[in-house]
Amino acid sequence: MGRRAFGLAFRVLGDGSAAEDAVQDAFLDLWRQAASVDGGKGRVDSLLMTLVHRRAIDALRARERRTRISGVMPDEAVDHDAVELFEKVANALTHERVLECMESLPKDQKHAIELAYFGGLTHSEIAQKTGAPLGTVKGRLRLGLLRLRADFGIEAAQ
Amino acid sequence: MKCDEVRDLTGAYVLGSLTEDEIRQIEDHVAGCDLHAEIAGLAAVTMGLAAAGPEAEPPSGFTGLGERISAAIRADQNVPHREIAPITGTPIDGSVSPRTASSRPESSPAVSSRTLRFASWPVAAALAVALGALLVWNVALQMNDPGGELVHFFREEDGDWVRVEATLGESNATVSLGGFEPLPSSRDYQLWAVRNDAAISLGVFETGENGRWSGDIDFALERGDGIAITEETAGGSNAPTAEPLLSTQL
């Protein structure tokens, strides 16, 4: 988990020292939220990776002097339904499997998701960067994720 | 925002690619809409995307980063820290024959009741969960409260861990541990308390298929005592005969 956490921060930030800071901040966040976390190791791992991603994106945006944009989840909460869905497939989602699924996406969808998830770009910024209309970018992000949801084996929530 | 407009933005929403204003509008809408199910599924996908990053080693190494994190957590919560002492024990009078600690599943009522007691101590609960995530690093952290209750967690880099919940000075402690593979019938794990360089047998135990064990210990632990685990012949030994598989100091 340590390698994955650091690897994710490094992928986003491209800088070892900044990635260490992001991982440390994520652990502190986890520590502060831990009393409200209900579940075992798998749940904690999922939450930790979410926090590492959020911290890394925050750091990236701050570094690039871009306006901070709220992350997916409020600082003090986690989407427990999402964590529950993810826990069911987490063991099967190896690094290789995730890359394989990403590679199977249409190039435009893959690129849009990478720019958003690892690059921290907003949908407007992605539209600017790629020259695609905003509506097209929204569609690429959603359709790409829907396809990944199927490829990852994540069941639709009830 | 209409339902169709919100649906178009669910991907950008879970990827954190919306403005705060857009997020607020979506969350207001979703509160009364079944789109929450789609959002939960897509948010689960983003958790999987985390695995697309490379596995990498930090510049200061995992030990260095782990120490930074431990120090930051201690500073955040004023958690006292003690260095880990090696076990260098001999048996003391009255503990020549090892007592056999009761072995039972972790979810047994006795453990649950203690856990509930500590659950009213939020920081202790936080300690247990947060430290469980420090999967790579060698970590020893401890919480004490003024009433003498102590929660100590130690995890070695190889994955062995022990958690001690005790009321100091009272013969009342629960030890939980994991990462110890089941042994053949000719061998047992043995749990020791180490005080003033003397090793006191707390009993032998067998782990389950998951490598875990939990039990109550009839011994009055004190601050500064060591806890150690060795592998011994079945039934236990009068004194440790091998290097400890794990040792930590309260």
The number of C-beta contacts closer than 8 angstroms across A and B is 239
CA distance to partner chain B, nearest, from residue A12 (Å): 8
Q: Which residues of A touch B50 (CB under 8 A)?
A: 4, 8, 49-50, 52-53
Closest chain A CA to residue B72: A28
> What architecture (CATH level 2) is domain A93-158?
Orthogonal Bundle (1.10)
Q: And the tokens for A90?
A: 């987490």
Q: Is the predicted pLDDT of residue B21 greater than 50, yes or no?
A: yes
Which residues are registered as beta bridge partners of B176? B163, B214
- Domain shared by B8 and B92, yes or no: no
Q: Are residues B122 and B151 in the same domain?
A: yes
Query: Best-predicted range by mean pLDDT among A68-77, B40-49, B85-94?
Result: B40-49
For residues B102 and B140, state if they share a domain. yes
Say whether B65 and A28 touch across the interface (CB within 8 A): no
Which of A79, A91, A125 to mutate to probe the B interface, most B CBs <10 Å? A79
Report the distance separating Cα B234 and Cα B190, nearest Å. 9
In this structure, the answer to whether residues B37 and B70 fall within a common structural domain is no
Backbone angles phi, psi at B107, to 5 degrees: -90, 15
Structure tokens at B86: 């090696």
Q: Give the integer Cα–Cα distance in Å for B86 and B107.
A: 31
Q: What is the Cα gyration radius of chain B? A: 23
* CB of B174 closer than 8 Å to CB of B165: yes
- Residues B71 and B39 occupy one common structural domain: no
Contact flag B76-A31 (C-beta cutoff 8 Å): yes
B125 at A interface, C-beta within 8 A: yes
Boundary-marking domain end, from B13, B30, B52? B52
Contact B45 A71 (CB under 8 A): no
Query: Average pLDDT of chain A?
Result: 82
Number of Cβ within a 10 Å radius of residue B195: 16
Domain ranges of chain A: 1-87, 93-158
Per-residue pLDDT reduced to its tens digit, B167-207: 888 887 888 888 888 899 899 888 888 888 788 888 888 88
Q: How many residues does chain B have?
A: 250
List, as one string, the DSSP characters of B5-25.
HHHHTHHHHHTT-S-HHHHHH
Closest CA to B232 of B220, B223, B222, B242: B242
Is residue A46 helix, strand or coil? helix
Work out how many domains chain B is built from and give that number. Answer: 2
Q: Does B15 touch chain A (CB under 8 A)?
A: yes
Which of B123, B17, B26, B60 is closest to A23 using CA atoms? B60
H-helix or E-strand spanning residue B36: helix B35-49
- Residue A124, classified by CB atoms within 10 Å of its CB into exposed (0-12), middle (13-18) or buried (19+), is middle
Please tell me what DSSP assigns to residue B189: E
ipTM of the modeled complex:
0.86
Closest CA to A59 of A4, A120, A116: A120
Q: Is B126 on the interface with A (CB under 8 A)?
A: yes
Q: Do domains A1-87 and A93-158 have the same CATH topology?
A: no
| Mean pLDDT along residues B11-30 | 86
Question: Can you give the residue range of the structural domain that contains B46?
Answer: 3-52
Spatial neighbors of A19 by CB under 8 A, at least 6 apart, are: A6, A9, A10, A12, A13, A56, B56, B58
Of A34, A50, A69, the CB nearest to B129: A34
Partners of A6 on chain B (C-beta within 8 Å) are 56-58, 65
Q: Which of B25, B45, B67, B77 to mutate to test the interface with A (most CBs of A within 10 A)?
A: B45
Q: Do B40 and A81 touch (CB under 8 A)?
A: yes
What does the alpha-carbon distance between residue A89 and residue B12 come to, in Å, rounded to a whole number? 22
Q: Tell me, yes or no, whether B237 and B187 share the same domain.
A: yes
Which fold would CATH assign to domain A1-87? Rna Polymerase Sigma Factor; Chain: A (1.10.1740)
Q: How many Cβ atoms from other residues are within 10 Å of residue A95's Cβ?
A: 16
- Note the pLDDT tens digit of each residue in B209-247: 878 888 888 888 888 888 889 998 888 888 888 888 888
Same domain, B175 and B88: yes
Mutate to test the interface with B, among A6, A41, A91, A148 (most CBs of B within 10 A): A6
Q: Which long-range contacts (CB under 8 A, 24 or more apart) does B147-156 make?
A: B149/B118, B149/B121, B149/B124, B150/B221, B150/B223, B150/B250, B151/B118, B151/B121, B151/B124, B151/B127, B152/B227, B152/B248, B152/B250, B153/B127, B153/B128, B154/B84, B154/B227, B154/B246, B154/B248, B155/B131, B156/B246
Please tell me which residue of chain B has the smallest CA distance to A24: B69
Q: Is B8 in the same domain as B128?
A: no
Per-residue pLDDT tens over the stretch B68-112: 777 777 676 554 443 333 333 333 332 333 333 433 333 322 222
Calculate what percentage of chain B has a pLDDT beyond 70: 69
Answer yes or no: do A20 and B58 touch at CB < 8 A.
Answer: yes
Q: Mutual orientation of helices B35-49 and A41-63 as an angle, nearest 10°?
A: 80
Task: For residue B69, list chain A residues with Cβ-Cβ distance below 8 A.
Answer: 23-24, 27-28
pLDDT at A35: 53
- Say whether both B146 and B232 belong to one domain: yes
Instruction: Tell me whether residues A32 and B76 touch, CB distance under 8 A.
Output: yes
Same domain, B229 and B126: yes
Measured distance between the N- and C-terminal CA atoms of chain B, rounded to whole angstroms: 57
B23–A98 CB contact, under 8 Å? no
φ and ψ at residue B28, rounded to 5 degrees: -65, -40
CA distance A105 to chain B (A): 13
Cα distance between residue A106 and residue A144, in whole Å: 8
DSSP label at residue A35: G
Spell out the residues 6+ positions from residue B90 whose beta carbon is closer than 8 angstroms to its own: B197, B198, B199, B239
A72 pLDDT higher than 70: no
CB contact under 8 A, B15 and A145: yes
Most confident of A82-91, B61-70, B78-87: A82-91
B50 near A CB under 8 A: yes
Query: In this structure, are B44 and B144 located in the same domain?
Result: no
Same domain? For B48 and B150 the reply is: no
